[in-house]
């Protein structure tokens, strides 16, 4: 199930990047990439920390590592998401 969802996300982003690269103007491409890349960074952080938390071998389990992974997985992406998108808002700048 995880790999099916991951594959769907990767295929979706490939389609988005292909569509953006077909935009004729450089300014349009830059604007589209500046909207997509922060979201991709948050999704990558969420998926990578989730994968590390759930797929790491039990032999390297430690309470401090588990706590760091749990915070990175459950607290950081929701907290960073509004910050990243508010940077795009000219009224908040």
In tens, the pLDDT along 67-81 reads 887 887 788 878 877
Taking each helix axis as running N to C, give the angle between helix 26-55 and helix 2-21, from 0 to 180 degrees, rounded to the nearest 10: 170
pLDDT of amino acid 33: 79
Q: How far is CA 64 from the centre of its chain?
A: 24
pLDDT of amino acid 18: 92
Query: 16-63: per-residue pLDDT in tens?
Result: 889 988 989 888 888 887 777 777 877 888 778 777 777 878 777 788
Cα–Cα distance, 11 to 17 (Å, whole number): 10
User: Residue 24: helix, strand or coil by DSSP?
Assistant: coil
Write down the residue that tokens 């071998």 correspond to.
57
**What are the sequence ranges of the domains in the chain?**
1-91
Q: Using a cut of 0.85, tell me whether the model's pTM lies above it.
A: no
Q: b/e string for 10-25 if b means 16 or more Cβ within 10 A? A: eeeeeeeeeebeeeee
pLDDT of amino acid 90: 60
């Amino acid at each position: 199930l995880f790999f099916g969802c991951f594959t769907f996300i990767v295929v979706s982003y490939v389609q988005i990047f292909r569509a953006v690269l077909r935009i004729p103007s450089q300014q349009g491409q830059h604007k589209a990439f500046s909207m997509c890349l922060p979201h991709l960074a948050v999704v990558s952080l969420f998926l990578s920390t989730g994968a590390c938390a759930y797929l790491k071998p039990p032999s390297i389990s430690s309470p401090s590592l588990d706590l760091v992974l749990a915070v990175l997985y459950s607290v950081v992406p929701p907290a960073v998401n509004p910050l990243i998108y508010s940077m795009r808002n000219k009224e908040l700048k």
